Structure 1
Amino acid sequence: MKILFWNCRGIGNFKTKLTLKNLCLSHNPDLVFLAEPMIIPDMIKTNFWCALNLKLFVVNNRENHITSLWGLCSPGLDPSILAISNQHISISLSMENKNLNVCAVYAHTNHVNRRSMWLDIQVDLLATQRPWCCIGDFNATLGTDECRSATLPSRASTNEFLSFINSSTLVNISTPGAQFTWTNKRRGNALIEKKLDTSLYCKRLIKEHWHTDVIGSPMFILIQKLKRLKKELKHWNYNVFGNIHQMVKMAKANMDTIQSSINEFGTDEALLDQEALAQNELLKALIWKRVGDSILSEQNDIADHVQQFYTNLFGSPNLTSTNALIQSVIPELVSDADNLFLTMLPSSEEIKQAVFSMSGDSSPGPDGFGGYFYQQCWDIVHLDMCKSVK
């Protein structure tokens, strides 16, 4: 399923309509949410939505004010409305025999007025056990790394947003593209840039597939659960992020178009900026490994090369001979009590500390899961993890 959220800041003008048309024709989204349309829905003719293969099915409730959030979907879908407020819309729908709940958000700019929205969404999340996706303009940042300005972002706003995510067992989805999604378009010290648009998903998918009965030793149980979950997450990843190979083709085509324009019309600031952005997008899309003068693009070739590299780096013949040199020159400094302490099984807290001391961005292990997964889902996987270690 593809979901498009766009703060269009006025859907009534021709330029915005054309941009929306290009977005829909390029990505063919199943759901579209428009924030700040700035007009009443009746001002857009039905045939415009039909041309985009969309239909308007819901707007938010702002009582006597113009609606600030519209929901559209492909004609074949029939979403059910779970909740509507002045800052969010929650829906439920079925697609390809899969059930999903979606919460679209256009939050108030004042963090005090957002407090009621946090509570409303949490009620929606608890009302059903289906997988959830929360997407939209939350008008809040998760930390200083999501804001670039002369002043720090509001601590109260950040803490309340983080508290909402943690208490709702939501996970922030990292997205490609621009680092900041909003700017006040000023210059110098007055410039403010923030990442206000966020996508969140509920860890319920992991919880549902993790709590399945597996018979065997603790290590066998852990391995089997990871294998099952990996299969489900692969399917989810494809549905969320799409075909990465097609993304590479699109990034290359965009790069070629911009460079052709530079060759034809000469260089100017706008084209150079576009070229820099296109190069960045292409680098993000490409997954390859250079070996000498050749490039490996197949995953199996890359995996074999990496394995062989570290085998050659750390592998060495294990040549040993028996002698009593160590026993004769090194006294016994480890007492029986010390030896018992060193060989005792680690506690659950020690295992947790070891997991959380890992870098979240470290390379995944043989199971395919990196440190970030275990840290974010510790509340779900910790029992099986601790049993397998002990």
Structure 2
Amino acid sequence: MNGSPLDDRFDNIARAARRSGYDPVLFGYTDQAIDPRTVAADDPRLQTSEGVLPGFRCELDLTRGREAWADWVRSQGYEMPTDPEEGLATESDRPAEVGISAFLTNRFLEWLPAQEEPWFVHLSHLRPHPPFAAAGEWATAYGRSAVDLPIPPSTGLHPLHDFLLSISYFAAPTDEEGQREMRAQYYGMISDVDQQLGRVWQALRESGQWDNTIVVVTSDHGEQLGDHGMVQKMGWFEESFHIPLIIRDPRKSETAGTVVDSFSEAVDVFPTLCEMLQEPVPRQCDGRSLAPFLDGVVPEEWRDAAFWEFDWRFFTAGRSGAQWPEDRRSVGHQLTVRRSGDVGYVQFADGEALVYDLAADPTWRTMLLDPERGWAEARAMLAWRAQHTDRTLTGTFLP
């Protein structure tokens, strides 16, 4: 969750790349709150969740605001609100050529020709992301009447679902016109970023780097986009957690275009890149390298489900922990999901559980009525928990 400090003892891809001889460069933002144990109490970085992942060097810093973009838009002769966040909400009023996605891509393309050594770049686009206002012509690229409508909420909502819908920031429009407009704008933002990535691919081809550059396209979260009545990334539904992952390794051309149906998780990206960099995979990693799939091989023992977690204690009483351990009101405000091929199992920290029959209803609105299947999912969740405890000193024995 944005705002949760990142434990500094953890390794990460920027540090691994630096050990491998690269100078990891960031264009955009990473949203990593600094570990407060590593800095003085008056360090200004403790006042923001929008920090930079340790190991990266910022070439374009959009972590604490979008002022660099806003200033550039003004320099191009366009009006821009004083607050760049308001500028995002009015992107539809200006040409896509001065949108934030084009700006970030421009800066990377200006930087690229000067590189004389192997490089490692995190090109972090904000879009697609609320506010729902696609840049320029992309705002009208999708006809509203042709846009699909979201999945409506089910009846008998769980209290957390009901609570999230009560917060205007997370509640989607309830009228059809508003829903179609929101989704059309989101699809426009996707197409805008897709065009920007096309500019990057073309620059790599023209500079002769396309055939020796590994490309990974993914996202940090999904978007409810009106499904189940919500927007943003809230709750337990897979719309918030199901993300794209495309890996292109030019050395593996024989499997290019392959679609992998096996479950993967965001935690697989780090060990995959470690293997590509010929760096040891840290013991901290819960994920596994996806490199075998790039060779067209499905590992013999691979996961049969994907897991994700959601923590909403920051909304609740006792969230500061000031009266710990007597005040434990917030500890039950978290959940973990196990998503297998045909079951969605949601385990709440207060002991409650929801079990969805995805074979009968892939929209997550029909409960599984077989108690034995539900118990099997609970056992699988317990096993996953036991197998993913801290491994920092596991296997170390002192005489």
Q: TM-score, normalised by structure 2?
A: 0.30
The structure with the largest helix share of the pair is: 1
Q: TM-score, normalised by structure 1?
A: 0.31
Return the index of the structure with the highest Cα Rg.
1
Q: Which has the higher contact order (CA 8 A, sep 6+)?
A: 2
